[in-house]
Amino acid sequence: MKIKPAWLIAITLLFTSFSAVSDPELLKPYRGHLNPPELSLHDMQGKPHSLSDYKGNIVLVQFWATYCTPCRKEMPSMNRLIEKMGDKPFKIIGIDMAESPQTVQKFLDEVPVSFPVLLDTEGSTIGAWKVFAAPANFILDKQGNIIYTLYGAVEWDAEAMVEKLSALTEQ
């Protein structure tokens, strides 16, 4: 069977567009002025968390919400990313965007995660970090400064992304 060139181009474009969602180049170097941002919130179990607890790690801080469909889709890939990063100094913090603990728990029962989910019930951290879309992702260096941002869902455990994040942990 012969495949017409037009079809080949279409198939190539299709695969290119799908692979783009896991492209680590989507991480944008941060040029804003939020360094170091404030973060002092409680997780679902009531345990307090602050950024200083995570110093020495590359940290992915993700702002998300239960109504955000892309957030729901990409969360399993964040669990797999943690597995793939193994013992490397890398952590993920999820911050729910001002929903009730009951709403968040219901979601987490359906989509379990292997990282702490913090509650920003008043939205003060959302405002301080200037988050106006979800999922909104920040990559922090080992000193707690924002080095990259990314808006939208990606396959976090894609090979290229794991390589990029692994390289950051070695800096």
97-128 core/surface letters (b: 16 or more CB in 10 A; e: else) = bbbeeeebeebbeeeebebbbbbbeeeebbee
Task: State the nearest-atom distance from the C-beta of 60 to other proteins, in Å.
Answer: 12
Total residues at the site for other proteins (CB under 8 A)? 27
CB of 162 to other proteins, least distance (A): 21
**Of 7, 12, 32, 114, the one binding other proteins by CB under 8 A:** 32
Taking CB under 8 A as the criterion, the residue among 10, 123, 143, 163 binding other proteins is 123
Backbone dihedral region for residue 98 (phi beyond 0: left; psi -120 to 50: alpha; all else: beta): left
43: buried, middle or exposed (CB in 10 Å: 19+, 13-18, 0-12)? Answer: middle
Task: Write down the least CB distance from residue 87 to other proteins, Å.
Answer: 28
- What tokens appear for 73 in the block? 């889709």
CA 99 to chain centre: 18
For residue 74, give both structure tokens: 């990409």
- From the list 30, 70, 89, 166, which residue makes contact with other proteins (rule: CB under 8 A)? 30
The owner of tokens 């000193």 is 143
Question: Does residue 129 bind other proteins (CB under 8 A)?
Answer: yes
| Residues 44-103, interacting with other proteins (CB under 8 A) | 63, 65, 67-68, 97
The single residue among 39, 146, 158, 168 that binds other proteins, judged by CB under 8 A, is: 146
- 151 to 170, contacts with other proteins by CB under 8 A? 151-152
Q: Is 41 in the site for other proteins (CB under 8 A)?
A: no
Q: Which is nearer to other proteins, 36 or 89 (CB)?
A: 36
DSSP 68: -
Which residues sit at the interface with other proteins, rule CB under 8 A?
28, 30, 32, 34, 37, 63, 65, 67-68, 97, 123, 126-127, 129-134, 136-138, 146, 149-152
